[in-house]
Amino acid sequence: MSDAQPDHYLDLRGTPCPTNFIRCRLALEAMRPGQHFQVDLDRGEPEEMVIPGLTRDGHQVQVMDQASDWVRLLVVCGGA
């Protein structure tokens, strides 16, 4: 999964919960199964809410990069 180039990208740093999770879900609803989506999030609550939420929705989530205040995810759309 890590070699794939994302089909879509969102920078949601500075976006509060649950808005960041909702925006991720809306973006994924417009995608086909197997497409890749890159999203940048703040550390803390956004990371703790979005990763499990997308996984529960049937998507594959991998942390691609991170710093002390943000995390970059690569999500493979599961078609949920």
* CA–CA separation, 4 and 22 (whole Å): 24
Lookup: tokens for 80? 């949920």
Domain positions in the chain are 8-76
Q: Which residues make Cβ contacts (< 8 Å) with residue 53, sequence separation at least 6?
A: 21, 24, 25
Does pTM surpass 0.75?
Answer: yes
Q: Structurally, what CATH architecture does the domain formed by 8-76 represent? A: 2-Layer Sandwich (3.30)
Query: How does pLDDT run across 49-80, given as a tens digit for each residue?
Result: 999 999 999 999 999 999 999 999 999 999 75
